[in-house]
Amino acid sequence: MHEIILELKGLDCAGCAAKIEKLTGDIDGVDGVNLDFVSSILKVKLIDESMSEIVVGQIRDIVGKLEPDVVISQRDEGVHDHGGIGKRDIVRILVGAALFIIPLLFKLEGAPRFIIYAIAYLVVGMDILIRAARNIIAGQPFDEYFLMSIATIGAFIIREYPEGVAVMLFYQVGELFQGMAVNHSRRSISSLLDIRPDYANLDRGGKVNIVDPQDVHIGDHIIVKPGEKVPLDGIIVEGNTSFDTSNITGESLPRTAMAGDRVLSGFINNEGLIRVQVEKEFGESTVSKILDLVENASSKKAPTENFITKFARYYTPVVVFTALAIGLIPPLFFGQDIRDWAYRAFVFLVISCPCALVISIPLGFFGGIGGASKKGILIKGGNYLEGLNDVDTIVLDKTGTITKGIFKVTSIDSYGKLSEEEVLELAAHGEVYSNHPIAISIMEAYGKDIDKSRIEDYVEVPGKGIKVNIDGQMVLLGNKQLLKDYGIEVKETKTIGTVIHIGMSGDHVGTITVSDELKEGVADSIRDIKSLGIHRTVMLSGDNSDIARKVGELVDIDVVYGDLLPQDKVEIFERIMKEGKGKVAFVGDGVNDAPVLARADIGIAMGGLGSDAAIEASDIVIMTDEIGKIVTGLKIAKNTKRIVTQNILFALGVKLMVLALGAFGVATMWEAVFADVGVSIIAILNSIRALKV
């Protein structure tokens, strides 16, 4: 599958964007298409890469017919232009306004009055008429240009010249302000994501050159000066400093760093000059992943967005035919004044544009996603942002999510045959080939070199532990079941933590207890999560049931499952999903949780950006390890949903009210213009509030 990415500079018509997306999807060889109106980016998936040039040519033809002023370019051809206020538009509006007031000032009548108004109409409305004609020829008539053209030409036919000109004039003024509002929203969102580094100071042989970050490779050394962004992920090899990490993690407190510490692209160097050895190419760096996740978020539209797109597709034709009925049925069947009812029909047409909904709702969701990214929460689509509002149950992994995942040996018990030091030595040799955090903590507690020549026949027993020969004797290290499988009687211990039972030569010779710490503030975060409408919290752990239960009690988790193998987690999670009334979210810390993250309605990866498996499997990536970020994400989701709902109710409410008034002859074209453009501007400005977290 091949994807082409095009930027449509100057695209400011949401209705036209929807048509371009639909017609592009109908092109032979196109397997999928998404046009994000907010960023003006068109992504097209092709069945065959060889068709790329043909498809791009057809897209240019489609855009040329519908939006001839839009400039199409490949994504990397230049900096995205958010547009500005067109001087020609302002001049046209001013000239049209001057011509509009001349007949009123000089009280012109007859032919002079008609001529001046006709010239004013053509000055302010010619581009609308041309666009309407183009769309009719292209077979896509039902849009705002068509509606405005029919309504205003109709006003001239029934000799309501001032209103015909006024509607077109104020429509153009409204479009100007609407364009400004949309561009302001786009700039606001872009500024939130302004984390891409412009350059890197590449150090080769003692000579420092300023280069594009894409020209730096793994193993190269770069210099980062105070005030500069770190351009690529790497390890500090020289220098000490502190970083502003808020671009990436959303945390305002500076983070100190020294030689040996890992740094991520997007961090801002506050103090000292440092040398960094690059670990990842620019395309795989943190900044690139974040930008890719956020920019691709628009392709996964929220159900509300999809509904409004379909709604607009049917709404406009229905309104057009309703207006036709209003204009014709009363005069033809009930002998009413045709001029009066025609006027009502034209008012009906002016009101009917769905622009307020089509523009403001995607802006609202993208604003919420942009605001969340600023707080270190990467949401991979509007559907997941909206879905957070429907979460009823949150299931959490224990280690690395609720606890720090940093294990320490807290007690060693010996049962006579060996001393405590010898028990620890035996365990360290038995765990030497394991990368499990518990094994690492035992090795750290032992703190001496391991003589691997003493070790033979190392075997991992899934879900139970390790069997190994040390100095010619069979040694077992693991849970109680492992020792019982080999007929060893297990001595009970009352310590709290993960207990590693050690058996040798048929006897239980000792136990080592390894404990994990709770993350700071996790109990408060769980309480806050519940206060936001989450009815049930569940913890799944592969750890000992007693330990898991104790941790659950400390942080007030409703239901706790322990002693789980990876397949058990999936099985229990499936059961939880069947029991839940709403959506079920799973919170895990990366690779081991990928199967459950993928199965969840909403998968949330904690601190998972370093794990490709977590990014692929999850729907939301939290840059830090804080459960408190889930609270922030839920609040952002609720705020975004509230803003989107406000826009829908406001836009439809005003339109339906004015439509009814227009049908009964109470509303004039002046009210109709407000119901169209005025409502759009207000809804767009309201959407900008979603950026504020």
SS3 of 645, please? helix
Residue whose token pair is 């305002």: 252
640: which residues sit within 8 A by CB, 6+ positions away? 364, 365, 367, 368, 385, 386, 690
Minimal CA–CA distance to 291: which of 354, 184, 197? 197
368-371 — which CB contacts under 8 Å span 24+ positions? 368/636, 368/637, 368/639, 368/640, 368/643, 368/690, 368/691, 369/294, 369/297, 370/188, 370/189, 370/192, 370/193, 370/294, 370/691, 371/192, 371/636, 371/690, 371/691, 371/692, 371/693
| DSSP structure class, residue 678 | I
Contact criterion met (CB below 8 Å) for 141 and 135:
yes
For residue 417 the two structure tokens come to: 């045959």
For residue 278 the two structure tokens come to: 């690059």
For residue 256 the two structure tokens come to: 């100190």
Contact criterion met (CB below 8 Å) for 185 and 686:
no
Contact criterion met (CB below 8 Å) for 504 and 476:
yes
Minimal CA–CA distance to 355: which of 679, 9, 672, 19? 679
Minimal CA–CA distance to 98: which of 72, 123, 69? 123
Instruction: Specify whether 76 is catalytic.
Output: no
The span from the CA of 120 to the CA of 116, in Å, is 6
Phi–psi pair at 159, nearest 5 degrees: 65, 25
Minimal CA–CA distance to 551: which of 404, 371, 364? 404
Of 397, 589, 601, 676, catalytic: 397
SS3 of 586, please? strand
Minimal CA–CA distance to 287: which of 263, 265, 259? 265
5 Ramachandran zone, left/alpha/beta (phi>0; psi -120 to 50): beta
SS3 of 132, please? helix
Minimal CA–CA distance to 491: which of 504, 501, 481, 478? 501
The span from the CA of 604 to the CA of 69, in Å, is 42
Active-site positions read 397
